[in-house]
Amino acid sequence: MSESTCRIAEIFGPTIQGEGALIGEPTVFVRSGGCDYRCSWCDSFHAVDSEYRDTWKPMLADEILNQVEALSGNKPLMVTLSGGNPAIQPFGNLIKLGQDKGYRFAMETQGSIAQDWFASLDTLVLSPKPPSSGEVIDWDKFDECLIKAQSVNTAMKIVIFDEEDYLWAKEVAENYEQLPCYLQPGNHTPPNADDETIDMDGIYNRYEWLIERSLKDQWYNVKILPQLHVLVWGNKRGV
């Protein structure tokens, strides 16, 4: 793959952003292929593991933007860079081309890889993975991401599955109190499950527990949101 192309798993939308700082906002998703993490509860394994590499398409920035424009009817909106870990890909040219036409760009990443083009984003959501993921955060790399995006609207989003995740997230939020923090209950239903078998009751129960748990601690400077796309579409891809 040359420096000027990005590995793309899928481009879809317009839909709405289902989580974090931009929840509910109309967007087109550009989902890249490849990730340096292997989270135990990953819901986008088709964009993560190398066994799916042959389904990822190398695309130039103008090819990606052409598809975004076609999906959005040439009307600028938010473009969400997702993955996998989109920070692996050279998205700088895409962002410049898109912004020149009025599009805005948001990205969510775990904060494990920093790129100079972060400074061109409109919104950056850093999503460090809690203990239940099985991954360990390199906080020096996380801090480097913040430095690269120091002039960008940046927030932090943490997925919560259990008490250990909650306590970990509370400590992380205290260490990064300059970042608006969003919590969301994790979806424990395997991503290959169909909409009829997704455990919505379990997700609602975790959401209720997370609200009650944070209020009990008087943790008031946090926003607790559901994964809106899961509530509406379950594990369906492409929405």
User: Is residue 193 very low, low, confident or very high in pLDDT (cuts 50, 70, 90)?
Assistant: very low
The region that residue 11 occupies, defined by phi over 0 for left and psi between -120 and 50 for alpha, beta otherwise, is beta
Paired sense of beta strands 153-160 and 181-185, if any? parallel
Give the mean model confidence (pLDDT) for residues 159-186: 97
Q: What is the pLDDT of residues 51-93, one digit of tens each?
A: 888 899 999 999 999 999 999 999 999 999 999 999 999 999 9
Question: How many Cβ atoms sit within 10 Å of the Cβ of residue 233?
Answer: 15
Candidates 1, 10, 3, 60; CA nearest to 32 is 10
Distances 111 to 167, 169, 174 between C-alpha atoms, Å: 20, 15, 17
CA–CA gap between residue 71 and residue 232 (Å, rounded): 21
Class of domain 5-233: alpha beta
* pLDDT tens readout for residues 15-59: 999 888 999 999 999 999 999 999 988 888 888 888 888 899 999
Flag whether the pTM goes above 0.85. Answer: yes
